[in-house]
A = this chain, B = another copy of it.
Amino acid sequence: MDTVLLDVFRTVAHLGSITAAARRLQFTQSAVSRQIATLEAELGTRIFDRLPRGVALTEEGRTLLPHADAILDRLAAARRAVDDLHTLRAGRLRVAAFPTAVAALVPRALAAFRAAHPEVAVSLIEGLTPTLLERLATGEADVAVVSESPAGPIDTTRFDLHHILDERLLVAVSRTHRLARRRTVRLSELEADSFVAGSAHAEETLLRASLPTGFRPRIDIVAADWTGKLGCVAAGLGIALIPALAMRSKPADVALLRLHPDDEPTRRIHAAARAGHTPPPAVTSFLPLLKESLDPLWSR
């Protein structure tokens, strides 16, 4: 059944006249007359009594009226809901991101998103790239901020990648370190140094994955997170490799050196979405914000 019939019915019932309803609905009288006749045929009963002046609802019509109202209201609500989703007056945005991105990049972008679209419910899950992609694939997340190294390429047949930045790896040394004044160093110059490494397995992976094979760093100190690591470095206990993304601002007590371009590992940060699936509107709107949130410190 066409809901236009119900709208016509409602209007006729309200105005008590086919002719008046036709005027209001921009139809001809004959059209409305036949639409009512069609509706009556479909229901198998008369819904209006034809009076000398206009029409009046029958018992059946009176029964139908609230249903027609409810159906049309719900239809309008459906349109509104879909439209709200489209214009970001409703909906949700579930971001998944790897730990380093959660330090600053993703929170900044999420904050900007929430400011722009306060009615969209945002949520954030932290995890390692393979897990994030799995969540994305199962629909538990709408977008995943992931890192890709040559060692672990991402299946682009399953995921659409939006490149955010190429991550820079910095060498943190104490201000009194012999290389503290340098802008750029080569890895070979650090063979004699002791490294402060993270205790987390992820950091192991980072170090191993990031550095050229054959380079065997000396590790004397293990610190859990970036803040502790930087403390050790500042105290001159060793040097550390720090992803630029982990630096929320330039620290005062350590020097940050860039690696020579040939030594720098290539870790590309992407926002990933499910391939073949149209991203929810919130994701489409979120991606540009991720790029706008970039700090010049982070990428080369």
- A41 contacts B by Cβ under 8 Å: no
A86: nearest chain-B partner, CB-CB: B45
A45–B280 CA distance with the chains assembled, in angstroms: 11
Known: A64-B82, A83-B44, A280-B58. A74 touches B77 (CB 8 A): no
Known: A63-B82, A67-B81. A58 touches B1 (CB 8 A): no
Chain B residues in 8 Å Cβ range of A86: 44-45, 60
- A151 contacts B by Cβ under 8 Å: no
| B276 with A59: CB separation less than 8 A | no
- A51 contacts B by Cβ under 8 Å: yes
Chain B residues in 8 Å Cβ range of A276: 49-52
| B82 with A45: CB separation less than 8 A | yes
Chain B residues in 8 Å Cβ range of A68: 78
Chain B residues in 8 Å Cβ range of A281: 59-60
* Segment 27-79 of A: residues with Cβ below 8 Å from B: 43-46, 49-52, 56, 58-60, 63-64, 67-68, 70-71, 74-75, 77-79
- A262 contacts B by Cβ under 8 Å: no
Chain B residues in 8 Å Cβ range of A99: none
- A213 contacts B by Cβ under 8 Å: no
Q: What is the count of identical protomers in the complex?
A: 2
Chain B residues in 8 Å Cβ range of A63: 81-82, 85, 91
| A59 with B2: CB separation less than 8 A | no
| B75 with A1: CB separation less than 8 A | yes
| A58 with B277: CB separation less than 8 A | yes
- A278 contacts B by Cβ under 8 Å: yes
A92–B82 CA distance with the chains assembled, in angstroms: 40
Q: Fill in one digit per residue for A4-20: 1 if any B CB lies within 8 Å of its CB, else 0.
A: 10000000000000000
Q: Fill in one digit per residue for A76-110: 1 if any B CB lies within 8 Å of its CB, else 0.
A: 01110111011000010000000000000000000
- A227 contacts B by Cβ under 8 Å: no
| B44 with A64: CB separation less than 8 A | no
Pick the contact of A85: B2, B50, B59, B74 (CB < 8 A).
B59
Given A1-B4, A58-B277, A63-B91, 16 more A-B residue pairs with CB atoms under 8 Å apart are A1-B3, A2-B2, A2-B3, A43-B82, A43-B83, A44-B83, A45-B82, A45-B85, A49-B276, A60-B82, A60-B86, A67-B74, A67-B75, A67-B77, A67-B78, A71-B75
